Chains A and B, each alone.
Chain A
Amino acid sequence: MILSNTEDVPGSTIREFYGVVTGSSVRAKHIGRDFMAGLKNLVGGELKGYTELLQEARQEAIDRMTQQAQAAGANAVVNVRFSTSSVAQGAAEIFAYGTAVRVE
């Protein structure tokens, strides 16, 4: 599965459009991580726990999106966009979407 965030796939031509595919994952941080992040906030720097949490969630969103594309017979998802939004206190949604296409 080819993923790109441009409107074409470099080196190949789009033959068919199948529509917009989406992938989402809603994750919560746990109080242990929260506590460590609170401490880290005192000195600044990377909050490793949160970086990991969001990476995991983003990977799942991508996986779900490509699964949809695969099931529809596409071999690429182009113009992929990500968005992260807080949907509730302590919960974030990572969302990915793009257009499923068949390229040659």
Chain B
Amino acid sequence: MDWEPRDFPENNVTDVHPLKELVTLVAGIAAATIILTLAIAFTLDIGMRALPAAWEARLFDGLWSDLDEVDDERHAAAVRLVDELALDWPENPYTFQVFILDSPDPNAFALPGGAIGVTRGLLDSVESENELAFVLAHEIGHFSGRHHLRGISRTLAVTVVLGAVTGGASGTMLTQWVSEVTQLGFAREHEEEADRFGLDLVEKRFGHVNGATGFFQKLPDANAGTVGRLGAWFATHPVSPKRISDLRRLARDRGWRASGELTPLDPSFYAE
């Protein structure tokens, strides 16, 4: 029995370049994540669209009572205007509610369950009923396309899939960021769709579309500084000038009158 020193091959390390492995893994996992997210979002999207408005109302009933709602003498006028506008949407399954929020920034929201939130700043800034009508009709447009629910379904899909992939804990920041980015394109598309729906309602009510774009003209161009191509892409709402020109083109194509007499606001708007 003799000792005979021998050299052994170094075969305990798999010969694979780490960068190559990184690229393969990242590409594979990203592709799987995207496909899974899309599949879930698509399924949820179909489900959300099929959800009857009555169920939706029951599901979200009372959820908005926590909102920072204020008593405002203009509330009745806003409710009346929403109801009148909705008359021109025959298939409307919703019973709309209007909330007035105590915020100086002009803004409006469509919330699940048929709630429309309007800020005080918006009511302060509108100058004619036509202008207010378009903003409200735009929100009604979101309900007609079920955008308020479909936005949720996308966020949900992204959260669920990324949560599973990253193990939950580390995923929160990433999830938020990814869901924001994926929302952008869809959100803009939804805004444009709601704009078209809103302008149609306004035309039906007033017989012309004059004053509809007044609100956008007053919006401070929030993205003015950084706009460029990327800025425009990152803005959820189409930037104002483009939005106005899109609406003007739509009115021209449909043969809607661009001029007409503006209807003054309800007297409650002028009582100080």
Question: When A and B assemble into the complex, do they touch directly, with CB atoms less than 8 Å apart?
Answer: yes
Q: Is there contact, CB below 8 Å, between A71 and B12?
A: no
Does the CB pair A19–B8 fall under 8 Å?
yes
Flag if B12 contacts A23 (CB, 8 Å): yes
Total count of chain B residues near the partner, CB < 8 A? 13
A72 to B6, CA, bound (A): 6
A14 touches B8 (CB 8 A): no
* Size bracket of the A interface: 20 to 34
- Closest residue to B9 on the A side, CB-wise? A71
B6 near A64 (CB under 8 angstroms)? no
Question: Is A50 located at the chain interface by the 8 A CB criterion?
Answer: no
In the docked arrangement, what's the CA distance between A7 and B8, Å?
Answer: 21
Q: Is the CB of B1 within 8 A of A21?
A: no
Q: What chain B residues lie within 8 Å of A72 (beta carbons)?
A: 6-8
B15 adjacent to chain A (CB < 8 Å):
no
- What residues of chain B lie closer than 8 Å to A24, measured between beta carbons? 12
- Please give the residue numbers on chain B whose beta carbons come within 8 Å of chain A beta carbons, in ascending order: 1-9, 11-12, 164-165
In the complex, 27 of the A-B residue pairs with CB atoms within 8 angstroms, ordered by the A residue number, are A14-B1, A16-B1, A16-B3, A16-B4, A17-B1, A17-B3, A17-B4, A18-B4, A18-B5, A18-B6, A19-B5, A19-B6, A19-B8, A21-B8, A22-B12, A23-B11, A23-B12, A31-B164, A67-B9, A68-B9, A68-B11, A69-B8, A71-B8, A71-B9, A72-B6, A72-B8, A100-B8
